[in-house]
Amino acid sequence: MTPTTPPPLPTARPLLDPAAEYRSWITERPLGRITLWGDLHPWLVTRHDDARAVLSDPRFSSENVRPGFPGLQPTTPPRTPGQLFAMDPPDHTRLRRMLIPEFTFRRVEQLRPAIGKITADLLDGLEARGSSADLVEHFTLPLPLLVICELLGVPYSDRKFIHRQAAAFATVSAGPEAMRAGWGALFGYLQELLAAKSRDPADDLLSRLATERVATGEATAAEAAGLLVQVLIAGHETTASMLSLGTIALLRHPGQLAALRADDTLVPGAVEELLRYLTIVHIGMRRVATEDVEVGGVTIRAGDGVVVALQAANRDPAVFAYPDTLDVTRAADRHLAFGHGPHHCLGQSLARAELQTALPMLFARFPALRLAKEPEEFAFTGRAVHGVEKLPVTW
């Protein structure tokens, strides 16, 4: 790398913190060029207010087929139907509206008893194992998988296939072919399930899409399958990582955990603080400018790519006092862990409900819970969502 070449996008990160480079970049170069590969040098946005501006501005496109788009791979992946993350209005708006009724606050509140029952059953299984276990295998991964399978109407017996393909799609380092194969396998699987549900519907999201959207011509079967792939991947991968890292964070900050145990009214705010503090989506939100736009006093030209570093924005000292400190009493409601603007996470209410339910129940059941290894020994998933492969604990 020559002295004039912009620095690379930071991807290596410690267990609980963003990449170290972001600490100085937020204040010293809040908006600057980076290098992804070859001669592609998109802008990197690190400041909170600039991140909100980019993510809510329709002049920044999410369409990954546009020239200059800073994709995850050097080659542009083929567009498949229903990929909301790679769409702009009006198609994005049309398809997103089909999912909104399934993830309203009221709908999620109706799911809380089921989430509590799933959590209790998994904790029973953990307790039956003795005094140690891998929390990823036996709790943090199966919990959101069970919840999302129940919501969608997907057989939980297929969970190993689902997680294997979802992990392949989310592992950027595996390369574009492996990522496409993972997506394609889930896409075909869900097309078959949609066809089956259209013949024999039940009370689940798959059936409602099949009978109310596809059968009426509002969406094609391929679009519906594409939507469901995203829900299935995002609906368990992100929450599983948050449960794992949230557990580690609280165990590493015993004073914060003690405060939660002493006052359960702190739980909703503590979950928001954990979302801010951990910010597990660590490869950035990708956009490309469709016309010249001024952001933070800098003109971003039409055709320039932009990477919004959510993990940096959520540690912006201009918005969060002592941003590198975990504080479960903090009002962290301005965090961007779920994104912002038209592409903000549809499933955020569901994720909150799972975290607010599972973490307190885990620590209540196992008051002596502790890590069985030093955090430095944990292996990271290496996927677009930051997390750990295993979480050995004892109690």
| Statement: 21-394 belongs to CATH 1.10.630.10 | yes
Distance between terminal CA atoms of the chain? 49
CA separation for the pair 212, 209 (Å, rounded): 5
H or E element: which one contains 392? strand 392-394
CA separation for the pair 23, 324 (Å, rounded): 9
- For residue 91, give every residue at least 6 positions away whose Cβ sits within 8 Å of its Cβ, in sequence order, or none: none
What tokens were used for 307?
A: 């990477």
Residues above pLDDT 70, as percent of the chain: 96
pTM: 0.93
CA separation for the pair 58, 342 (Å, rounded): 9
Q: Is the pLDDT of residue 13 over 90?
A: no
Please write the tens of the pLDDT for every residue from 350-385: 999 999 999 999 999 999 999 999 888 898 887 788
Instruction: Check residue 382 and give its pLDDT.
Output: 73
Please write the tens of the pLDDT for every residue from 269-322: 999 999 999 999 988 999 999 999 999 999 999 999 999 999 999 999 999 999
Please write the tens of the pLDDT for every residue from 217-264: 999 999 999 999 888 888 888 999 999 999 999 999 999 999 999 999
Q: What is the mean pLDDT of residues 334-356?
A: 96
Please write the tens of the pLDDT for every residue from 167-201: 777 666 556 677 778 888 898 999 999 999 999 99
Cis? peptide before 113, omega within 30° of 0: no
How buried is residue 261: exposed, middle or buried, by Cβ count under 10 Å (0-12/13-18/19+)?
Answer: middle
* Residue with tokens 């993990």, as numbered in its chain: 311
Describe the strand order of the beta sheet including 285-289 as a list of residue ranges: 31-33, 43-45, 305-308, 285-289, 60-61
Instruction: Check residue 236 and give its pLDDT.
Output: 86
Per domain, the residue ranges of the chain are: 21-394
Is the Cβ–Cβ distance between 147 and 354 less than 8 Å? yes
CA separation for the pair 340, 335 (Å, rounded): 9
What tokens were used for 388?
A: 């750990």
pLDDT band (50, 70, 90) for residue 1: very low
Instruction: Check residue 38 and give its pLDDT.
Output: 76
Give the up-direction half-sphere exposure of residue 145: CA atoms within 13 A in the CB hemisphere: 23
**DSSP notation for 209-270:** IIIIIITTTSS-HHHHHHHHHHHHHHHHHHHHHHHHHHHHHHHH-HHHHHHHHH-GGGHHHH
Q: Select, from the ranges 64-68, 201-205, 302-306, the one with the highest average predicted confidence (pLDDT).
A: 302-306
Q: What is the mean pLDDT of residues 321-325?
A: 97
